[in-house]
Amino acid sequence: MTAAATLISGPARVDSSPRALARRLQPGDVAIVDALDLDKGAAAALAERRPVAVVNAQSCISGRLPTTGALVLLEAGIPVVESAGPAALAIRDGAAVTVEGGTISAGGGSSLEGTRLTLETVTARVRAADEDLHVHVASFTATALDLLDQDADLLLDGIGLPELRLPIEGRPVVVVTSRFTGSDEVLARFARERRPIVIGVGEGADAARAAGLNPRIVLGDVDGVSEDALRRASQVVVHDGEGRDAGRARALAIGLTHDWCEAGLASEDVALLAAHAAGASVVILAGAREGLLEYVSDRSTAGAGALLSRLVASGSVVDASVLGAVYRHRYSAVMSWGAFGLALGALLLAAWGTAEGHDAIESAWTWLADTLGGGR
Residues 6+ apart with CB under 8 A from 171: 196, 197, 280, 281
Contacts of the segment 227-230: beta carbons below 8 A, 24+ positions apart: 227/254, 229/200, 229/205, 230/205, 230/254, 230/256
pLDDT band at 374 (very low <50, low <70, confident <90, very high): low
**Using one digit for the tens of pLDDT, what is the confidence trace for 68-106?**
999 999 999 999 999 999 999 999 999 999 999 999 998
- Average pLDDT of the segment spanning 101-123: 89
Band (pLDDT 50/70/90 cuts) for residue 346 is: low
- Is 43 exposed, middle or buried, given 0-12, 13-18 or 19+ CB atoms closer than 10 A? buried
**Mean pLDDT of the region 317-325:** 78
pLDDT for res 116? 96
pLDDT value at 5 more than 60: no
Query: How much is the pLDDT for 376?
Result: 46
Give φ, ψ of 169 to 5 degrees: -55, 125
pLDDT at 352: 60
The pLDDT confidence band at residue 337, using thresholds 50, 70 and 90, is: low
pLDDT of residue 1: 37
pLDDT at 302 over 90: no
CA distance 357 to 62: 77
- Per-residue pLDDT at 344 exceeds 60: no
Specify the pLDDT at position 140. 75
pLDDT at 334: 54
Res 2: pLDDT: 45
Q: Write down the pLDDT at residue 84.
A: 95
- Predicted TM-score of the model (pTM): 0.64
pLDDT for 61 beyond 80 = yes
Return the minimum-mean-pLDDT range out of 5-14, 30-39, 129-138, 230-239: 129-138
HSE on the CB side for 297, CA within 13 Å? 26
Q: pLDDT confidence of 46, banded at 50, 70, 90?
A: very high
Mean pLDDT of the chain: 84
Identify the CA nearest to 20 among candidates 9, 8, 36, 34: 34
The most confident of 125-139, 176-190, 286-300, 354-368, by mean pLDDT: 176-190
Q: Is the pLDDT score of 130 beyond 90?
A: no
Query: Which CATH architecture does the domain made up of 3-130 adopt?
Result: 3-Layer(bba) Sandwich (3.50)
Confidence of residue 326 (pLDDT cuts 50, 70, 90): low
Q: What is the pLDDT of residues 181-230, one digit of tens each?
A: 776 788 888 888 889 999 999 999 999 998 889 999 999 999 889 999 99
Mean pLDDT to the nearest integer, 241-262: 88
Q: What is the pLDDT of residue 156?
A: 87
Quick one: pLDDT at residue 342?
61
Residue 77's pLDDT is what? 95
pLDDT at 262 over 80: yes
pLDDT category of residue 331 using cuts at 50, 70 and 90: very low
Which residues fall within 8 angstroms of residue 265, CB to CB, at 6 or more apart?
151, 154, 155, 241, 273, 302, 305, 309
* pLDDT band at residue 292 under the 50/70/90 scheme: low
Q: What angle separates helix 267-277 from helix 302-312, to the nearest 10 degrees?
A: 10
pLDDT for 320 equals: 82
Task: Give residue limits of the domains in the chain.
Answer: 3-130, 133-326
